[in-house]
Chain A
Amino acid sequence: MADQTPILELEHVDKSFGPIDVLMDINLKVHAGEVLCLLGDNGAGKSTLIKTLCGVFKPTAGKILMDGKDVRFNRPRDAQEMGISTVHQFGGTFALMSIGRSFFVGVEPTRGWGPFKIFDRAKANEIAVRAVRDFGITRIEDGDRLVGGLSGGERQSLAIARAVHFGARVLILDEPTAALGVKQASHVLRIINEAKRRGLAVIFITHQVMHAMAVGDHFAVLIRGAIAADFRRGEKTREEITDLMAGGETMADLEASIESYEDTHEGRPPPPAP
């Protein structure tokens, strides 16, 4: 693994908006069949980093390398054509479209000839349902169902299956588990593992350390626009990671201060901050 060329690599990437530096000297690598977890608290620059990766923003300085070659994305479409697919928090967002129709938005399969091409609904539904079922979501059988009627986890899975179907090599998942319940989240984590097994490089953005530790091979913690820590699976404990994300203010200190409060106040916890 170590001597392979990473699929996607960031070298000394900076991003600033006018005088405000949002990202500073970001160095990241992700290989095929590997899950890179990007951890960080709100406002750490995660969204800016994702938008830079998927072509919405251009880096102010530094390089993005794909397969070792310098690339430049002028718009999100460029990144998609190179095989970088982003799935946002709520997955496919066409809530009132059918599974088959939303799966093929922009690349509709047609049958017929010349100007009489018609949308091939049966084929679209069949491919979409098969793609989702291949990822282990067997509850989806009918491609005419509306996307909005699926559960959050199923929608995520549909979006991931869609990205994989259309040839994604790098999958960027932006907080896919944030809005989900425990069971749904574990569903999505299984799908992430399946994507990894199929040789995709996955960049998994989250602030839930448990979810990250369940699937991650490689972790990077982002604090105020800089990478504060970069380590591999097993090198740090959950507590250490949480402490890092909180910006060095360790959980242990917080717990100690609560304990000392309880000691002096007859075991009552401190009142919540106003």
Chain B
Amino acid sequence: MNGFSFRSLLRRPEMGSVLSLVLVVAFYVIIGHVDVGNLVGAASWLNFAANLGIVALPVGLLMIAGELDISIGSMIPAGSMTVAILSGYYELPIVVGILGALGFGVAVGLFNGYLATHTTVPSLIITLGSLVAVQGVVLSGSMLLTGAASVPLDAPDWAKTVFGHLIANKYQVIVFWWLGLTALFALFLHVSPWGNWVFALGGDETSARNAGIPTNRLKIMLFVMSSTAAAFVGMCGAIVFNSAQVSGGMNYIFNVIVSVVVGGVLLTGGFGSIIGIFFGAITFAIVNQGIYFTDIDRNWSNLIIGVMLIAAVLMNNTFRKMALAYAPRKKK
């Protein structure tokens, strides 16, 4: 009796993403004649979802806090190039490469966060600037130091085990990082007292500051988390595929934003959930990779993503209205 009912589920922010997932899978099964057993066990979408999901978590948190970070698009190649140049080209211990990649992420995050808190420039523009600037740094740095735009990396076994080997020859170990980080972020946002600060920051920054929340420090920390997560994903990619390229990563910008928005996070901040972001990434990955399991020509996949995005956002709006309008019936 204690509050668990279908209607109370409908008021949760992640409901839209769960329903989108169900609809997409149903669509693929009915129209595309997908073998569900094949689809569920497939590594392609799971690996895709893990890489996407790790970046989507902190970006979603930032969006709940009312900010946006698109510099992740160049932080992914930056992370993989840093580890490859340090540990591949210069043959330094892999630990130096890993710390270098993550340190690069922290530095860019601090830069984004500092500008976002100390100027009135919208974070979309700030991170657009750092997106392009980091791209330039990575390309020219790579050409200056190594003379090439692609650098090989041969990581030692322990580093491969932790960050980048293929389990059963198909599942990337990063899937476990994704699951672990999802749990960690869920604890942070929904269980710890700091989660409340993130919602308050996105709901009304001035009131949050007046209530004593260190809004600037919190915001800078969130920016550091998102660019470091992107560098981490890039670094794991270099370790698993034994090489790094300066290009790539740009697709992540839109993919991550779509996952987060499908996951029920309000673009303007103040509302969302980690479970929603988690399912948003899965839904996106299934649409994007699951199409190879269907009879449908894969050129249609972007159309499906577009339709799904709009449908999910419409559902999310409806569920949010239901959550707002909710009031328990008067007890007799």
Contact = CB atoms under 8 A, between A and B. Distances in A.
Given A105-B211, A106-B208, A93 B203 contact: yes
A77 interface: yes
A117 B193 CA distance: 8
B323 to A, nearest CB: 6
A96 B270 contact: yes
A148 B196 contact: no
A94 B204 contact: yes
A105 B191 contact: no
B146 interface: no
Contact of B193 (A94, A110, A139, A148): A110
A261 interface: no
A194 interface: no
Contacts of A118: 191-193
B199 A101 contact: yes
Nearest to A104: B196
Q: How large is the interface on A (under 10, 10 to 19, 20 to 34, 35 or more residues)?
A: 20 to 34
B327 interface: yes
A170 to B, nearest CB: 15
Contact of A96 (B203, B212, B331): B203
B204 A119 contact: no
A141 interface: yes
Contacts of B211: 105-107
B324 A146 contact: yes
A146 to B, nearest CB: 5
B200 interface: yes
Interface string A111-129: 0000001110000000000
A108 interface: yes
B110 to A, nearest CB: 24
Which residue, A76, A96, A110, has most C-beta atoms of chain B within 10 A? Answer: A96
B200 A106 contact: yes
B299 interface: no
A92 B207 CA distance: 8
Contacts of B208: 105-106
Given A77-B212, A80-B210, A106-B213, A94 B270 contact: yes
A95 interface: yes
Interface string B316-332: 00001001111110010
Interface in A30-84: 76-77, 80
Contact of A97 (B192, B203, B210, B331): B203
Contacts of A93: 203-204, 207
Contacts of A95: 203, 270, 324
A21 interface: no
Q: How large is the interface on B (under 10, 10 to 19, 20 to 34, 35 or more residues)?
A: 20 to 34
B45 interface: no
A101 B196 contact: yes
A240 interface: no
A202 B48 CA distance: 58
Which residue, A76, A97, A106, has most C-beta atoms of chain B within 10 A? Answer: A106
A149 interface: yes
A95 B193 CA distance: 19
Contact of A102 (B195, B200, B271): B200
Contacts of A92: 207
B63 interface: no
A187 interface: no
A145 interface: yes
Which residue, B195, B207, B210, has most C-beta atoms of chain A within 10 A? Answer: B210
Given A105-B196, A106-B197, A119-B195, A76 B210 contact: yes
Which residue, B192, B196, B200, has most C-beta atoms of chain A within 10 A? Answer: B196
B138 interface: no
Contacts of B266: 96
A141 B328 contact: yes
A104 B196 CA distance: 9
A270 B326 CA distance: 48
B195 A94 contact: no
Contacts of A94: 199-200, 203-204, 207, 270
Nearest to B199: A97
Nearest to A140: B327
B274 to A, nearest CB: 14
Interface in B82-97: none
A106 B212 contact: yes
B200 A97 contact: yes
Contact of A117 (B192, B204, B323, B324): B192
Top-5 shortest CB links A-B: A106-B211, A108-B193, A94-B203, A93-B204, A106-B212
22 contacts: A76-B210, A77-B210, A93-B203, A93-B204, A94-B200, A95-B203, A95-B324, A96-B203, A97-B196, A97-B200, A102-B203, A104-B196, A105-B197, A105-B200, A105-B208, A106-B213, A108-B196, A118-B191, A142-B328, A145-B326, A146-B324, A149-B324
Interface of B: 191-193, 195-197, 199-200, 203-204, 207-208, 210-213, 266, 270-271, 320, 323-328, 331
Given A96-B266, A106-B197, A119-B195, 18 more contacts: A77-B210, A80-B210, A80-B212, A95-B203, A96-B320, A97-B200, A104-B196, A105-B197, A105-B207, A105-B211, A106-B212, A108-B196, A118-B191, A119-B191, A119-B192, A145-B327, A149-B326, A149-B327
